[in-house]
Amino acid sequence: MSRPFRFGVNMMTPAAGKEWRAKCRRAEALGYDVILVPDHLGMPAPFPAVVAAAEATERPRVGTFVLNAAFWNPTLLAREVATTDALTGGRLEVGLGTGYVKAEFDAAGVPWGTPGERVSALVAAVEAVDGLSAPPGQAPGPPASPEQAPRPPASPKQAFGPLQRPRPPLLIGGNGDRVLKVVAEHADIAAFTGARAEPGDPNGALTVLTAEALDDRVATYRRLAAARPAPAELNVLVQLVEVTPDRRAAIRPSLTLVPHLTEDEALDLPILLIGTVRQLAEQLRAQRERYGFSYITVLEPAMEAFGPVIEELAGS
């Protein structure tokens, strides 16, 4: 049985307090289930931004999409997560990844390292967040689910721990085999980007995966996660939303960005939603059946355009 849809919006544009709160309230009004913040230089700092988002809204959960694990000391990250979950009333979802833009590492004075070293940094961050699941000396419980209700701390020793027990839901993003193994072992939400970073490009240029290549990545994840006691929720990050009566005319200007794809192949990509509202809803239903993607994240520039699609898919 398919999971019901959830929808998130990744807020990328910095704004002062009043404007930020207004944007978040607008996302809530449009029906988004999660308000997210990325971890790129030049964009809002994730933890204060999600606290402000939670204060401005009532219903949506809030989260990071995704933290660059190499930017964070694992122990201090765990403190940020616990405090942020408490301040947001147990509405936090924690997204983690390896980072892919070398220029940002250089600007922050953080060693770029090898792919293996970046995965090791991700594992250290994951283990620190997992360590919030129980007081010292107590074995962690099963992973939290996004729907799990928050529970107040049970004792003064946990007063600065997360409200959600055993810990806030953990989303991990990535497509490589090593990262997918970490996702399979630890994540409550498996996030797929539909693209891979170009090796050696300092700006993190991405090459779009074909729909068939994404089939392979999801199949690899499922194989690695076969022993899980419960399946993870699957997420996809949509890069473009355009509501139009003419899908083919709308995709043609973007074909130069995906020169390895035909027009039909581009229109088949899960990360591009182009067509009428009904066509986009049908596409998302078909992708949920094909890949298992039920948690759909769009970028802030598409927030308004995607709103009618959320309404079309309400309750499904």
Question: What would the pLDDT profile of 268-313 be if each residue is shown by its tens digit?
Answer: 999 999 999 999 999 999 999 999 999 999 999 999 999 999 999 9
- DSSP H or E segment with residue 311: helix 303-312
Average pLDDT of span 12-19? 97
DSSP letter, residue 257: G
Cα gap 257→246, rounded to integer Å:
19
pLDDT, one tens digit per residue, over 216-252 is: 999 999 999 999 999 999 999 999 999 999 999 999 9
Q: What is the pLDDT of residues 136-194, one digit of tens each?
A: 444 333 345 555 444 444 434 444 689 999 999 999 999 999 999 999 999 999 999 89
Is the distance from CB of 120 to CB of 180 less than 8 angstroms?
Answer: no
Neighbours of 262 (CB within 10 A): 10
Helix (H) or strand (E) segment spanning residue 128: helix 115-130
205's tokens: 């240029």
Residue 134 pLDDT level (bands cut at 50, 70, 90) = low
208: confidence class by pLDDT, cuts 50, 70, 90: very high
Domain ranges in the chain are 6-242+270-312
User: pLDDT per residue over 82-110, tens digit each?
Assistant: 999 999 999 999 999 999 999 999 999 99
The strand pair at 195-197 and 206-208 is best described as antiparallel
Q: What is the tens place of the pLDDT at every residue in 252-270?
A: 999 998 999 999 999 999 9
Q: Is the pLDDT score of 130 beyond 70? A: yes
Residue 46 and residue 81 in contact, taking contact as beta carbons nearer than 8 Å: no
Domain 6-242+270-312: CATH superfamily, name plus number: Luciferase-like domain (3.20.20.30)
What does DSSP say about strands 170-173 and 189-192: parallel, antiparallel, or unpaired?
parallel
DSSP single-letter state for residue 36:
E
Q: What is the average pLDDT across 122-132?
A: 97
Q: Which residue has the tokens 């219903």?
A: 59
Question: What is the pLDDT of the chain when averaged over all its residues?
Answer: 91
Interval 36-58: pLDDT, tens: 999 999 999 999 999 999 999 99
Give the pair of three-digit tokens for residue 303: 């927030």
Residue 296: predicted pLDDT = 98
Query: Could you tell me how many helices (H) and strands (E) the chain has, helices first?
Result: 11, 13
| Per-residue pLDDT at 155 | 38
